[in-house]
Chain A
Amino acid sequence: MKCLKTALLGTVALVALAASASAQTRVLKYNADYDPIPLKAMEEIIADFEAANPDIDVQLTNFDHEGYKTAIRNFLTADAPDLANWYAGNRMAPFVNAGQFMDVSDVWEANGLKDSLGSALASMTIDGKQWGIPYTYYQWGIYYNRDAYKAAGVDAPGAGGMNWEQFLANCEKFKAAGIDCLTTGSKALWPVAGLFDYLSLRTNGYEWHMDLTAGKIAWTDESVRKVFAEFGKIAPFVTANHAAIDWQDAAALLVQGKAANYVMGNFAVGTFKEGGMTNDNLGFLVFPEITAGIPRAEEAPTDTIHIPAGAKNVDDAKKFLAFMASPEAQTKWNAAQGQLPVNKNASVNTDDPFLVAGFEMLSSAEGGIAQFFDRDAPAEMAKIGMEGFQQFMVQPDQLDAILERLEDARKRIYK
């Protein structure tokens, strides 16, 4: 009897020991905002990381993409994880300036990232320090449905692309065929910013666009009106009711051939293909030239991972950043998601024609690379600006009032 008891106690002790051993794995909390496809890719990366570091347990909390933008401000101050997704450029400035992100220059230094991630160094640097790790970027441009072009009897864009007059002329033909020439879903506002950015970059060029988002140009200036004049030409051809449509619902319109073109980021390719499109009927077009002779600039936002200032497990968080900066991890994640790795030693998936096209387009963009309106402009200006773009598309006659409002906001926000 006593024997049994001792044996039992022994077992209990062993179990307890085993439990405490497993409790010694260190938890690494990671808050992210992935859509289903990239989420799967990131889960695989985390599995790789955990396999290489068996003593670290990465706990990923995934938010919905739009909700995350609000949530991050809450959790950074109130309940900080060890890692958090965010965006490069001006978009991270408020958190850096408020001391919410940790300086990770040492990770850059120790891993030679200033060389391998060199293309994104500028957009990750504030006050001479680096504040996070860029792991992916993606081009924007026009995605189109070849079947819709066929149905409307319009020639699909050739290798040389097309210019703005041709594009607008095609729109008339699509209209006659009952197909939306250009679709978008602006319920979450940002899709219209992509369209505006391209019109701005093509009308006045990169330097001007950067001055505009930096608050150096008055919104009531004649040069701004030039952009809106082009905007006004395309607005009538955009899908009706776009203000109540999510970008994914608009993607469905392109897939179904009810719309021909869509100004979008390359992350949408997964959604198009999930809807049934293939490399045969989905096409990619560099945004047409508007003002001849302006060096071509493109839009390619960079997504990043940061360590919040309130992180508890900083050492392992830095390990994870270094891992995510490596060419292997960036190759793998970007191949799964269909985006471009930032690390120059990572390889671009050459089986993916959209990636190849994007990579070529970006590496030959002599004008410059913009992040995105809501990353180049301060958050508050971005919100007011995007509301203005959306309103202009619905109520073009309100242009004067809109520009005046944006100008008032500019004077207040860039002090």
Chain B
Amino acid sequence: MADVAVSLQERRPSWWRRNQRTLAPWLFLAPGLLMFLVYVVMPIIQSIWLSFYDWDGLGTATWIGTANYVELIDDRNFYISLKNNIIWLVLYMLAVPAGLFIAIFLNQTVFGIRVYKSMFFFPFVISQVVVGLMFSWFYAPNFGLYYQLYEWLTGTGFAPLADPDWVTYAIVAAGLWPQIAYCMILYLTGLNNVSPDQIEAARLDGAKGWRLLWHVILPQLRPATFIAIVVTVIGALRSFDLVSIMTDGGPFGSSRVLSFYMYEQALSEYGYRMGYGAAIAVILFLIMMVFISGFIWKMVGDERGS
């Protein structure tokens, strides 16, 4: 007994030292991890749970099983939102080639080019609220710049935000503006780091223009392209601000996306169907998880590789 006590006594000062490296990461992680668990991980689980309830946010929630999901199947607005999300996703991807195009256009060393690069990047720094207001004004019937230009060109004005078939495209166009700027800056940085030797070697072999871009430059830009695709996909699925600001989902709900429809169902004046909103959020989450898993799959590969 005494021996054990002594040996414990001796070990005592060294316990922390011996275990320091095992415990240290957890101590370093604790604050961030705790916050993240409380505000991100737990809410995801709670939302999934809530999607099986009927709850108005005020009274008590009642378990209704999969009824919310069953209702979604017949909900026209759900399909409109889903369709618009797909339009967003597909058209938003234009930001990647468009950003590349502008980056190539600006990747020169003429006088003042730094200022030009900053100015082209400018839209990304501005809040989506401001972008939305700007484009609302741009598209406004009768006096908007776009409306007037269209009238000047064709004789009759066109207000895309009033047209159920065009409204989503018009909002995506507004969203592309900052997103192209983002992709552009990614590619400008990428182009900066393309190996000059390989380009010269390829040029000596007679490669130029498209062939050079496709076979030599783009492979080297792959990291930039990956990030550009990731942020663009996420941005497209997250689209909320512009819809809320430019049309509030209208005309008659034609520009809804899942994120906006969820908010409308859960928190707007006419909604307060928390469970139904949660079910929409879960669907959006699952769609997003397909992409997130893909990205992580690739990143895990990179981690293993490095």
A residues apposed to B, CB below 8 Å: 69-70, 72-74, 77, 98-100, 186-189, 240-245, 249, 253, 379-380, 382-383, 387-388, 390-391, 394-395, 405
26 pairs, A vs B, C-beta closer than 8 Å: A70-B267, A70-B268, A73-B272, A98-B59, A187-B248, A188-B248, A189-B250, A241-B141, A241-B142, A241-B162, A243-B164, A243-B251, A244-B140, A244-B141, A244-B159, A244-B162, A245-B162, A249-B140, A249-B142, A379-B270, A383-B269, A391-B164, A391-B251, A394-B164, A394-B252, A395-B164
What residues on A are CB-neighbors of B139 within 8 Å?
A: 244
Smallest CB-CB A-B distances: 6 pairs = A243-B251, A244-B162, A383-B270, A241-B162, A241-B141, A69-B269
The residue in B157, B161, B250, B252 that gathers the most chain A C-beta atoms within 10 A of its C-beta is: B252
Interface residues contributed by chain B, number (CB under 8 Å): 27
Asked if B76 is at the interface of the complex by the 8 Å CB criterion, the answer is yes
Q: How many A-B pairs fall under 8 Å by CB?
A: 77
**Complex interface: chain B residues within 8 A of A74 (CB):** 267
Closest chain B residue to A239 by CB distance?
Answer: B141
How far, in angstroms, from A253 to B141 measured CA to CA in the complex? 11
**Alpha-carbon distance A69/B272, docked complex (angstroms):** 12
Q: Is B58 interfacial (CB 8 A cutoff)?
A: yes
**Are A241 and B252 in contact (CB-based, < 8 A)?**
no
How far apart are the CA atoms of A72 and B269 in the complex, in Å? 8
Collect the chain A residues with CB atoms within 8 Å of residue B163's CB. Answer: 241
For A387, the chain B residues whose CB sits under 8 A away are 250, 252-253
Residues 39-70 (chain B) with a chain A CB within 8 angstroms: 56-59
Give the Cβ gap from A80 to chain B, nearest Cβ, in Å.
13
Task: Find the residue from B159, B164, B248, B270 having the highest chain A CB count within 10 A.
Answer: B270
Alpha-carbon separation in the docked complex, A405 to B252 (Å): 13
**A380 & B271 in contact (Cβ 8 Å cutoff):** yes
- Expressed in whole angstroms, the Cα–Cα distance for A70 and B57 within the complex equals 13
| Contact A394–B251 (Cβ < 8 Å) | yes
Distance, CA A95 to CA B270, complexed state (A):
12
* A98 close to B56 (CB less than 8 A): yes
* CB neighbours of B162 from chain A (8 A): 240-245, 394
The answer for the CA separation of A189 and B248 in the assembled complex, in Å, is 10
Q: In this assembly, does B247 line the interface, its C-beta being within 8 Å of a C-beta of chain A?
A: yes
Min CB gap A262→B, angstroms: 15
The listed residue (A188, A249, A379, A390) touching B252 by CB distance below 8 A is A390
Q: A98-B58, A405-B76 are in contact. Are A243 and B250 (CB under 8 A)?
A: yes
Encode contact with A along B241-266: 1 for CB under 8 Å, 0 otherwise: 00000011011110000000000000
How far does the alpha carbon of A370 sit from the alpha carbon of B220 in the complex, in Å?
A: 69
Decide: B270 and A244 in contact? CB cutoff 8 A.
Answer: no
Nearest-Cβ distance from residue A374 to partner chain B, whole angstroms = 9
Besides A72-B269, A241-B141, A382-B270, 6 more A-B contacts (Cβ < 8 Å) are: A73-B272, A188-B248, A240-B141, A243-B250, A380-B270, A405-B76
| Cα distance A245–B250 in the bound complex, in angstroms | 11
